[in-house]
Amino acid sequence: MFVLVTYDIEKDRPRTRLAKALKNFGPRVQKSVFEADVGEEELVRLQDVLGKVELQKEDSIRLYVLCASCSGKIRIWGKGEVTRDEDYYIA
């Protein structure tokens, strides 16, 4: 499933740690936005990572899970392309 993670975290240390962790799931597409194509188990791990971030009163993290038909309607203006997992074939 296609997910979008956005965050607004004031302090550098938790923001940097979160960004490093999110790179394990998918690419950064804007400064505080990551896209990922994850399976059920990866989604659980991602939610666990997000839930462990120490947030201050004004901080926030948002996780959007997009259905297949919704992710097919994504439009981008300017630089970038929608994240897609590569097809793998084992011979």
- Count up the domains in the chain and report the number: 1
Residue 11: predicted pLDDT: 95
Q: Is residue 77 one of the residues assigned to a domain?
A: no
Task: Judge whether residue 5 has pLDDT over 90.
Answer: yes
pLDDT, one tens digit per residue, over 11-65 is: 999 999 999 999 999 999 999 999 999 999 999 999 999 999 999 999 999 999 9
Whether residue 66 is predicted with pLDDT greater than 60 in this model: the reply is yes
Number of other residues whose CB lies within 10 A of the CB of residue 39: 10
- Termini Cα distance of the chain: 26
Q: Is residue 80 part of a domain?
A: no
* Residue 79: per-residue pLDDT: 74
The confidence band for 8, taking pLDDT boundaries of 50, 70 and 90, is very high
Task: Give the CATH number for residue 8.
Answer: 3.30.70.240
Any domain includes 78: no
Q: Which domain holds residue 41?
A: 2-71
Sheet-wide strand order for 28-30: 28-30, 33-37, 2-8, 60-66
